[in-house]
Amino acid sequence: MERSRRFWQDVYEIFLRELGVPNADGLIDVVYGEFTDLSNYRLFDDVPAVLDRLREAGVLLGVVSNFEAWLEGLLDELGVTHYFSVRVISGVEGMEKPDPRIFELAMSRAGVAPDASVYVGDNPEFDVDPALALGMFPVLIDRRRRFLDAPGTRIDSMAELPSVLGL
């Protein structure tokens, strides 16, 4: 936790310096406090229904995330931990996307081969490209329509995912 705090404080210090904003009155500590306050996080409205639909269809779900170890607590706070039988979090595992090992670890824990795996992510470089290189079926969720030229399957909403999967 302390290493994570130092990392993010360094990031915020650089960010504020680039913006020309002084770190007065412990601003960096305030920003870090807001970042780690679980009450500041929400699911997109379409997510719960999709998770229910996937679970009802018997889909094994997992999380592969470049996030801090406290993602486990956030998933609990959001009430979704029970959906994900596999969780591979970079802050716990010591590797992060796009390193193929993080995807391989998730598939190993799930007991599935790449050609039987779907990976949904929001970044072509960190999510789509490595999943595709491993033989997984990548789906880009592009809610803000930032990657219109990205190759492969692209959705604007999680509500589209069940039909993409043929459910």
The answer on pLDDT for 4 being more than 90 is: no
Return the minimum-mean-pLDDT range out of 18-27, 44-53, 62-71, 76-85: 18-27
Q: Is the pTM of this model over 0.85?
A: yes
Query: Strand pairing of 153-155 and 61-65?
Result: unpaired
Amino acid in the structure at residue 109? R
Classify domain 47-164 at the CATH class level: alpha beta
At 63 the pLDDT is 98
Cis amide prior to 98 (ω within 30 degrees) = yes
Give the pLDDT confidence score for residue 2 in this predicted structure: 82
Is it the case that residue 158 has pLDDT exceeding 80?
yes
Q: Residue 88 pLDDT > 80, yes or no?
A: yes
The CA–CA distances, whole Å, from 157 to 47, 74, 161 equal 9, 22, 8
Q: How do strand 84-89 and strand 61-65 relate by DSSP bridges?
A: parallel
Extents of the domains making up the chain: 2-36, 47-164
Mean pLDDT of 97-125: 98
The per-residue pLDDT for 112 is 98
Report the 3 state secondary structure along 72-133: HHHHHHHCCHHHEEEEEEHHHHCCCCCCHHHHHHHHHHHCCCHHHCEEEECCHHHHHHHHHH
Instruction: Give dist(CA 92, CA 96) in Å, integer.
Output: 10
Q: According to the model, what pLDDT value does residue 151 have?
A: 84
